[in-house]
Chains A and B, each alone.
Chain A
Amino acid sequence: MITFVFFIIKICILLLTALGVWLSLKSRISLTSLIGSLIIVIWFAFFGSIIAETAISPSETINIKALNEHSDDSTGAIIVLSGYELDNKKYDVPHDINGYWVYFDATGQNNFSVGWLEGTDYQPVDATAEISFNMPVGIDRKLDLYAYPWGGLAEVTTSSGSTIIDTYSAQELDMKSIPILDSSKVLIYKMEIQRIFVYCGILLIFSASLIAALRLIYNDHSLIKLQKHKFLFTQLVKRDFTLKYKRTILGMLWSVLSPLFNLLIMWLIFKRLLGNSVDHFVVYLFSGQLVFSYFSDATNQGMTSLIDNASIFTKVNVPKYMFLFSKNISSLINFGLTLIIFFIFVFLEGIPITEYYIMLAYPIVCLILFNVGMGLVLSGMYVFFRDMQYLWGIATQLIMWLSAIFYSIDSYPQVGQNLFLLNPIYLFIRYIRKIVIEGQVPSVGFHLIMGGYTVLVLLLGFRMYKKNNHSFLYYV
């Protein structure tokens, strides 16, 4: 009931935002772009909702007290608390309560009592009758207990009261999911209201940027030129494609095959080194290879885009970033095809596909924009210094080694791991791995760093083009 009410509130906010976007754009754009922006707004809502859940997840203390009672036919107890469930998702309990209950005779005089043992050392003398741990606030919660046939009773205390549960299980090593009380209403309301705020915030910020971006495209002098030059843009894309795949038998297939060959080689080399310690190593490797090859392709191809078209932009007045966009399109299509193959690999590996996969749109959009920004910066610099080509070649190699494509940084000290956050490419790779392999959503801070890099590079690129718009032609 509570979740339903808050769900309805979220839907209302979504509809209001969509209405707001529609009202602020209705006189400017066509029906198709309107539907497009509606889809984007719905995605924003989904994103906001998941981020809100990640950002606001308060926990409460759950206390479990073993009672000195047990079912009639039990003769002893070993009960292991293996984890808990929330919204049908399983979570492990923290390491510090990794242990089990025993039904033991502390005095040696047949005076049995039930107690909790930390660790797995069988030293009943240290046993305590109570344990407590933190569990997220929520409803529909369960405790997962492994109980040997001799179970016992336990009292579970949550923020809304205590209940007695029976851990008895007839089967050996049978896992029981025992429902416990929901969190107190106050805690749930507080949490949901905070989540609604985060949700609203994200929806507002994203929609405002969407409106700003669309207005810029339709109003800004230089961007309206892009709209005007749509035909030229498609012709440039066509030209780049024709020239790239001319006289190759397999055509576009090559661009998909080459990252796959890379993947194969890397897999052969590194499987022995790392394969045993990293889960789903092929997918792990592929996610790194996927992001890196797109980045490398887009930036190295994009770098020469302005110079290559010098004979056009010195003769005809066209927006210069169009050349880069057109070059980026073919890299983007390659990336899209490789992405499809990536998902086939994910499927073959038997990794479950969760609703979090929708979140992948965020790192992908960021990566596309990041590559555009990087391409703008590089192609601009390349006009001034032709040796950028060699420098960037070296830089690309360096980035490849520093992006943890084929190794894992989990065993590095925390400082070292944090240093990797300075590398945007690593962030994109990490995000995809976190969602696909670990089935988890990265933290809010992670999203902000990634978005920050993207916006920074994009602004830098556009500033470079704006500032040098009329001086590029002196250097060609």
Chain B
Amino acid sequence: MEERNTGITIEASEVSIRYRTGDFKDIGLKEWVIRKIRKDYHVEEFMAVKGVTFKLYEGDLLGIIGTNGSGKSTLLKAITGIMEPTNGYVKVTGQIAALLELGSGFDGNLTVKENAYLRGAMLGYTKSFMDEKYKEIISFSELDNFSNRPFKQLSTGMQTRLAFSIASLVQPEILILDEVLSVGDGAFQEKSARKMREIISNGATTILVSHSLEQIKELCNKILWLHKGEQVAFGDNVAEICDNYQHFLNGDVIS
């Protein structure tokens, strides 16, 4: 990996994140008091992410791979600032347009246009910017005739298309996409991949979480493999790491 000192956009250093699960969810006040008295109140804490370190520069596209529960989403939450690392730090330079679980966060009762504006606002765009770009967003997502329809009438594929269009039509400095490109039909997947390349060529840093190794091999220049929260591999030898991951998935021992 070539060493550069400038242009670092995301720097994660020994990031560990403690995650809490346990009895506390959805129990009422009465139950909580009873369990406290009985000393039957359990909160389990485990490290969802353990000591992950990497650096990304302008124009990098990082693919994150790993099985379910390997800490991918938790790591992204730390990068976007939704969670705080328990140890270590994440330094981010530039504006993040993050989309964790693209389809969620829309309101079914609002119209497509209202939802688009709300989502734009969530991503930190300004009103004038949305006014300017709305037409482009709606035509990219091929929803021109749906503008004033309630959002719940849209199919899942349409919803994701809209979400992707809103996120990618800006030139974000940092774009985080979690399980985005796997949705949508073949034609739209092709279109979105093209859009991604365009964004990257403009110098944005992108993080992509995907279960499609094909996609990662095709798009990413760096790759991070997480397993049970630990960093198995990080580097720009994308193909090699992908192959190792594939072997691992097939049950082979990692060499």
Partner of A385, one of B28, B77, B83, B118: B28
Residues of A within 8 A of B89 (CB): none
Complex interface residues of chain A between 209 and 237 (CB less than 8 A to chain B)? 228-229, 231-232, 234-236
Given A231-B126, A239-B114, verify A474-B20 contact (CB < 8 Å): yes
Neighbouring B residues of A317 by C-beta, 8 Å = 80-82, 96, 98
Stretch at the interface among A74-82, A308-316, A411-419: A308-316
Q: What B residues does A316 contact at CB under 8 A?
A: 80, 82, 98, 100, 105, 122-123
**Which residues in B have their C-beta under 8 angstroms from that of A229?**
121, 124
Complex interface: stretch among A84-92, A268-276, A359-367, A386-394: A386-394
Q: Which of B45-99 contact A (CB under 8 A)?
A: 77, 80-84, 96, 98-99
Partner of A388, one of B29, B77, B123: B29
Contact A470 B114, CB 8 Å, known A231-B126, A311-B104: no
CB distance from B28 to the nearest CB of A (A): 4
Task: Name B30's closest neighbour in chain A (CB-CB).
Answer: A387
| Chain A CB within 8 A of B140 CB | no
B110 at the binding interface (Cβ < 8 Å): yes
- CB of B105 within 8 A of CB of A312, answer yes
B247 at interface by CB-CB < 8 Å: no
Q: Residue on A with the closest CB to B107? A: A239
Q: Among the interface residues B77, B96, B122, which one has the most CB atoms of the partner chain A within 10 A?
A: B122
If A246-B109, A387-B30 touch, whether A313 touches B118 (CB-CB below 8 Å) is no
Instruction: List residues of chain A with CB within 8 A of the CB of B84.
Output: 470
A317 and B81 alpha carbons, distance in the complex (Å): 6
The distance in angstroms between the C-alpha atoms of A134 and B76, with both chains bound, is 74
B2 within 8 A of A: no
Alpha-carbon gap, A39 to B21, bound state (A): 51
Q: Which chain A residues border B124 with CB–CB below 8 Å?
A: 228-229, 232
Q: Is the CB of A387 within 8 A of B82?
A: no
Q: Could you tell me the distance in whole angstroms from the C-beta of B148 to the nearest C-beta in chain A? A: 12
- Chain A residue with the shortest CB-CB distance to B19: A474
With A312-B105, A316-B122 already in contact, the answer to whether A231 and B28 are too (CB < 8 A) is: no
Contact B107 A235 (CB under 8 A): no
Q: Does A205 contact B (CB under 8 A)?
A: no
Q: Contacts A242-B114, A315-B104, A315-B105; is A231 near B83 (CB within 8 Å)?
A: no
B248 at the interface (CB under 8 A from A): no
Residue pair A386, B100 in contact (C-beta under 8 Å): no
Q: For the complex, is B132 an interface residue (Cβ under 8 Å from A)? A: no
Q: Say if the beta carbon of A187 comes within 8 Å of chain B.
A: no
Complex: how many Å from CA A232 to CA B104? 17
- Give every chain B residue within 8 A of A242 (Cβ-Cβ): 109-110, 114
* Chain B residues bordering chain A, tally (CB within 8 A): 38
Q: Residue B26 at the A interface, CB < 8 A? A: yes
Expressed in whole angstroms, the Cα–Cα distance for A471 and B86 within the complex equals 12
A234 to B81, CA, bound (A): 22
Residues of B close to A231: CB separation below 8 A = 120-121, 125-127, 130
Taking the complex as formed, is A243 at the interface, i.e. its CB lies under 8 A from any CB of chain B?
Answer: yes
Within 8 A of A (CB), among B10-44: 19-21, 24-26, 28-30, 32
The residue of chain A having its C-beta at the shortest distance from the C-beta of B83 within the complex is A470
List A contacts of B81 (CB < 8 A): 317
Q: Tell me, in angstroms, the Cα distance from A239 to B116 when the chains sit together.
A: 12
Q: Shortest CB–CB separation between residue B25 and chain A, in angstroms?
A: 6
A280 to B84, CA, bound (A): 57
Nearest CB in chain A to that of B98: its residue: A316
Whether B122 and A243, one on each chain, are in contact in the complex, defined by CB atoms closer than 8 angstroms, is no
A314 to B118, CA, bound (A): 16
Interface residues of B in 113-143 (CB under 8 A from A): 114, 117-118, 120-127, 130
Q: Within 8 Å CB of A314, what residues of B?
A: 77, 82, 100
Residues in chain B near residue A388, CB distance under 8 A: 29
Contact between chains at A475 and B24 (CB < 8 Å): yes
B101 contacts A by Cβ under 8 Å: yes
Quick one: which of B160-188 are within 8 Å of A by CB? none
Q: Which residues of A contact B98 (CB under 8 A)?
A: 315-317
Question: How far is the CB of A400 from the nearest CB of chain B, in Å?
Answer: 22
CA distance A235 to B130 in the complex (A): 12
Q: Which A-chain residue is minimally distant from B80 (CB atoms)?
A: A317
- In the complex where A311-B104, A316-B98, A387-B30 touch, is A232 in contact with B24 (Cβ < 8 A)? no
A315-B99, A316-B80, A385-B29 known; A235 vs B20 contact (CB < 8 Å): no
| CB closest residue in chain B, given A246 | B109
Q: Which residues of A lie under 8 Å from residue B30 when comparing CB positions?
A: 387
A473 within 8 A of B: yes
Q: Check A93 for interface membership: any CB of B closer than 8 A.
A: no
With A and B bound together, what is the CA distance between A106 and B100 in angstroms?
A: 99
Chain B residues with CB under 8 Å of A384's CB are 24
Chain A positions 243 through 277: 1 when the CB is less than 8 Å from some CB of chain B, otherwise 0 = 10010000000000000000000000000000000
User: Which residues of chain A have C-beta atoms less than 8 A from B130's C-beta?
Assistant: 231
C-alpha gap A316/B99 in the complex (Å): 7
- Chain A, residue nearest B29 (CB): A385
- Cβ-defined contact, B24 with A239, below 8 A: no
Q: Could you name 10 residue pairs across A and B whose Cβ atoms are closer than 8 Å?
A: A231-B125, A231-B127, A231-B130, A234-B121, A242-B114, A313-B82, A315-B82, A317-B80, A387-B30, A475-B25
Name the 9 nearest CB pairs between A and B, nearest first. A232-B121, A317-B81, A235-B121, A387-B28, A315-B100, A385-B29, A311-B105, A231-B121, A235-B118
Q: With A313-B82, A391-B29 given, name 8 new contacts (CB 8 A).
A: A228-B124, A231-B125, A234-B127, A236-B118, A239-B114, A239-B118, A242-B114, A314-B82
